Amino acid sequence: MQDFIDNNNPHGFYTSSPWLNVRFEVLQEFKFECQHCKARGFYKKADTVHHVQYVKKYPRLALSKTYIDNEGNVKLNLVPLCHGCHEHVHDYRRRVKKKPLTPERW
């Protein structure tokens, strides 16, 4: 696992057998339910497992389902999310609007 991260090869990590096995276990444990949607009171199928402690920053936790925070509390590290919630967590859709090529003249 560390080799994939050291060599900046996230695809290699996310297609590796150890990750795919842990990912499937997490999805099964949470019954394939998006945990953010569930917290808001509705159901949506989870298709992604989110690393709370990002792999690039905390590679030793890449396959760990939990981590211990600064106060000594055990927290979830791998959380099942739907595509939309995962994008929201990572703020993917928030892009700086580009200026138009030509000004609008109405």
Chunked mean pLDDT (size 10), the chain, 106 residues: 70 92 98 97 97 92 96 97 93 66 70
Q: Which amino acid is at 37?
A: C
Sign of the torsion angle spanned by Cα atoms 12, 18, 22, 24: positive
pLDDT confidence of residue 56: 87
Residue 35 has what DSSP assignment?
H
Distance of CA 56 to the CA centre of its chain: 12
pLDDT confidence of residue 66: 97
Q: Where are the domains of the chain?
A: 2-90
C-alpha 105/C-alpha 32 separation (Å) is 50
pLDDT confidence of residue 1: 63
pLDDT confidence of residue 35: 98
pLDDT confidence of residue 92: 67
Whether 44 and 34 have beta carbons less than 8 Å apart is answered as yes
pLDDT confidence of residue 4: 66
pLDDT confidence of residue 58: 92
- Sheet strands (E) in 1-106: 48-51, 66-68, 74-76, 78-81
Task: Find, among 35, 32, 36, the residue nearest to 45 by Cα.
Answer: 32
